[in-house]
Amino acid sequence: MSAKNNDDRLLLALLAKLVDDSITESEHVELQNLLRDDANAQRTYFNYLDLDTDLRQMTHGATTSPPNPQPKTSLRIRVAIAVAASLVMMVSFAWWRHRDQIEAVSASPAEEVVLVQSAGGVFFRDVMPAVGESLKSNHEYALTSGMIELQFPSGAEVILDAPAAIEIASLDRLIVRQGSCSVHAPPGAEGFQVITPKTEVTDLGTRFSVDVDEAGDTEVQVVEGAAEVLRRDQSAAEKVLLTQRQASRFDGGDSSSSVAYQPHKYRHQLPDRVVKFSMGMTNGKTNGQLRHVSVQRGGVTRQYDVTKMIPSEVTYFHGGSNTQHMSVPVGTTTEAGDGRRSVIESDALLHTGFLNLGGSVESLFDDPVLVNKQDDDDPDGDLQDGDTTLGMAIRFRTPVINAPGPDIVFFELQSALNPADGDGFHVGPLQFNAGLRSLSVKRYDITLHSAEALPIPDFDLLEFNSPVQSVFELINGSFSRLNPAIPFWAIAVGIDLSDLGYAPGTAVEGLFFQDAADDDHIVDPVFIAGLPDDLNTSQGQTP
């Protein structure tokens, strides 16, 4: 066997160890020597990494792609030759990164890091696990939107704000390559570490926040207790101790610099929102009947039975050009009049409702004009349409009291071909008294990205034969029945009356909704209800 064949075998063996993180320092030096000034070895190096990437994509699904992938042809070879002088440096960087990862995971625990909460959290090319499920160790996650809370086996709790690039290194170590996090290490979790490109932040029993920019520069703010910060290029003797209400920035210099203490950078909890909901089951499948909704209000998560919520009824409706305005269970009789009106009432089915509201790009700043053309109070149709406002008005059976956090839950049906964040809408008062305003909702609390979004049963669409401009036309107009060929899910968002300018304790009898008219997709509400004012009596217990 020739020396050349021996070198080829050795090169392949070393490349195999490089990609599976088992290469040693001496073997790394040997790999550098083989690649130096050898175009064939360099070509083999690039092709081997290409093949490894392709195999990983086939076996593990989509992975992050380079922003400008190079073709695997003679161009790649020319590039390899052109960068031969710097190839050893690149391999050395890859080796440093692999080694850093190996050191970070050497104490990989048997326990798991669990997702405690998610507020619209979305990972890039990773599915967000359901609450209570674990995240993978030694895996890079990119949080592209929302916020999540993680709990480590040590007891440490971490809230991450998007955008953030992280990796779980061990039961008491979190790597934050970029982004912001807030850490609470209760008694017993002392020693928890946040590792950034330039620092190691060690908890000494505290609450602190860490903010890492694109360059790896790190800002640490200590809210309670104390934390030690060690620059990764310095010895342990040069640790910086930060105590309560102290903050410092660590950049490319040899020393840290004090910065203003900003307590708002520490996030104590995720925002109030709709957390999850449940539906009834029939033959192992969801039947569309809403049963419970869990809502964080005033920082406390409460579960509400649907029978305890405040129902609403539609009192005004003016649709747009899309005339598919109702969804009903498959095969349901929809005779004109009271039988069809039952769909208007809060039946708690998440696959029935009034769809495709009229809308406006701009939200309202004045009272909507609510003239029901040909409604049941005007059978002769004498009222003029005029400048009536596109949208839908609802009235609650009993007034909804403005309490801390969301006061109203809003559900929409959505397919995978619709915006994952939900269809945008405006909501505002029926009368714009002093201090009141509209609210534009562009992102739901539970989206199609959320594990908490639930599939709904099949339903029929009622496509009306002419534009619908009143409730009267909804319950009496003629239509064609259609059946969608794709599945749908229920998603949800909470509405805080304070965001509309209502003072705490104000009783609200009704609201006005419009599509945001920001794209070709139109909002499809299927359930709107108020929450009881129980915050002073339930003490966080299930009603």
Q: Is residue 537 situated within a structural domain? A: no
Tell me if residue 87 falls in helix, strand or coil.
helix
CA distances from 331 to 7, 90, 462 (A): 73, 65, 12
What is the average pLDDT across 47-64?
Answer: 48
With a cut of 50, say whether residue 267 has pLDDT above it.
Answer: yes
**Cis peptide bond N-terminal to 163, omega within 30:** yes
pLDDT confidence of residue 28: 67
pLDDT at 143 over 80: yes
Q: Give which of 155, 147, 201 is closest to 174, Cα–Cα.
A: 201
- Asked whether residue 535 is assigned to any structural domain, the reply reads no
The answer on pLDDT for 450 being more than 60 is yes
Do 117 and 198 sit in the same domain of this protein?
yes
Domain co-membership, 261 together with 139: yes
Q: Which residues contact 320 (CB under 8 A, 6 or more apart)?
A: 356, 357, 358, 359, 390, 467, 515, 522
Pair (219, 195) in one structural domain: yes
Q: Are residues 50 and 86 in the same domain?
A: yes
Give residue-wise pLDDT tens across range 76-118: 333 333 333 344 344 444 444 444 443 444 444 447 999 999 9
Residue 254's pLDDT is 65
Element (H, E) at 531: none
> Binning pLDDT at 50, 70 and 90, where does residue 34 land?
confident
Looking at the structure, tell me whether residues 93 and 130 fall in a common domain: no
- 540 assigned to some structural domain: no
DSSP strand pairing (113-123 vs 134-135): antiparallel
Residues 79 and 139 in one domain: no
More confident residue, 138 or 88: 138
In this structure, are 348 and 202 located in the same domain? no
C-alpha closest to that of 491 among 437, 542, 441, 426: 441
3-class secondary structure, 114:
strand
The H or E element that residue 221 is part of is: strand 218-224
Write down the pLDDT at residue 66: 40
- Residue 509 tokens read as 């009898």
CATH assignment of the domain containing 177: 2.60.120.1440
Query: What percentage of the chain exceeds 90 in pLDDT?
Result: 65
For residue 10, give Cα distances in angstroms to 23, 87, 122, 214, 482. 12, 18, 43, 38, 65
Q: Please tell me whether the peptide bond between 455 and the residue prior to it is cis, using omega within 30 degrees of 0.
A: no
| Co-location of 129 and 158 in the same domain | yes
Q: What is the pTM of this model?
A: 0.75
Is residue 226 included in any domain, yes or no? yes
What average pLDDT does the segment 9-35 reach?
72
Query: Cα(329)–Cα(459) distance, rounded to whole angstroms?
Result: 5
Average pLDDT, the chain: 83
DSSP conformation class of 188: T
Q: Give the span between the Cα atoms of 523 and 269, in whole angstroms.
A: 30
Does residue 349 contact residue 329 with C-beta atoms inside 8 Å? yes
When mean pLDDT is compared across 74-88, 225-239, 380-394, the lowest value belongs to 74-88
In this structure, are 21 and 55 located in the same domain? yes
CB of 269 closer than 8 Å to CB of 299:
yes
Give the range of the structural domain holding residue 367, as residue numbers without chain letter. Answer: 273-530
Q: Is residue 247 part of a domain?
A: yes
pLDDT value at residue 534 = 81
Give rounded-to-5 percent helix, strand, coil for the chain: 20, 35, 45
pLDDT digits (tens, 9 = 90+) for 324-376: 999 999 988 787 777 777 766 758 999 999 999 999 999 999 999 997 655 44
531 vs 238, more confident: 531
Among residues 105, 128, 155, which one ends one of the domains? 105
Three-class SS state of 356? coil
| Domain stop point among 248, 265, 282 | 265
**Cα–Cα distance measured from residue 270 to residue 154, given in angstroms and rounded to the nearest whole number:** 21
| Greater model confidence, 58 or 221 | 221
Query: Are both 21 and 133 inside the same structural domain?
Result: no
> Do 334 and 469 fall within a single domain?
yes
Per-residue model confidence as pLDDT tens digits over 177-211 = 999 999 999 999 999 999 999 999 999 989 999 99
Residue 538 inside a domain? The answer is: no
Number of domains in the chain: 3
The 10s digit of each residue's pLDDT in 484-523 is 999 999 999 999 999 999 999 999 999 999 999 999 999 9
Amino acid identity of residue 391, one-letter, is G
Please indicate, yes or no, if residue 516 is contained in any of the structural domains.
Answer: yes
8 and 43 belong to one structural domain: yes
Domain end call among 63, 86, 105: 105
In this prediction, residues 450-465 reach a mean pLDDT of: 94
Mean pLDDT value across residues 224-246: 89
